[in-house]
Amino acid sequence: MILTKNEIADFVSEFFATKGPYQKYYSPDNLIQIAGRVLSYGIRPSPTAVRRATLELVEEGQIERTDGKNEADDVRESEEAAEERDRQLALAKPLTPADASLYASMSFAEIAHRFNSDRVWRFRYEAACRLFGFRLPIAATSDAIPDSTQVDDGPPVPQTAEEYHKLPTHVTVRRYRNEPRFRAAVQRLIDSGSI
């Protein structure tokens, strides 16, 4: 049974109607080119044929993304999705007194190592800090830090616990390590008992 170009175009349209990683190439112009490429294969259309045609056309520069994003956006979104999955995994099981005992028995070095190397563990420990009153493994430094937390030569730093908690964990850790102003602002929030 030989399918017509319209039937193949309908199949390609149905393929793009489902949400997936190829949705970023969806446009009427791209659909025509992809359907033409699938037709040139001389085989019955399949999702694999549509994927192959799409990737070939992208590689040849015949079609481009239509979602207004680029590969860096894909990487960032993938990292954010992975972080959110880890957060949900970490917080799926409620913390227990046994968890509190475990964290209390660990040395600062063990906590700092696990905190910086295991994201799921870090999310659970952060929850334990909020629930049981543990402190995050972030040591105060003696760097010369300006008194004002809002200096014109950098991004704003959190002034309240709410602003602090709005920041993603990986951003908080990176900024704490690299920005003395941010570190000072966080330390002020810790010292005041806000976080």
Q: Where exactly are the structural domains of the chain?
A: 5-60, 138-195
pTM (2 d.p.): 0.48
pLDDT confidence of residue 194: 87
Give burial (CB, 10 Å; 0-12/13-18/19+) of 27: middle
At residue 62's C-alpha, the angle toward residues 56 and 68, to 5°, is 100
- Please give the pLDDT value at position 151: 42
What's the confidence (pLDDT) of residue 142? 39
| Rounded-to-integer distance, Cα 105 and Cα 110, Å | 10
| pLDDT-flagged residues of the chain (< 50) | 140-152
Q: What is the pLDDT of residues 110-139, one digit of tens each?
A: 898 899 899 999 999 999 999 988 888 875
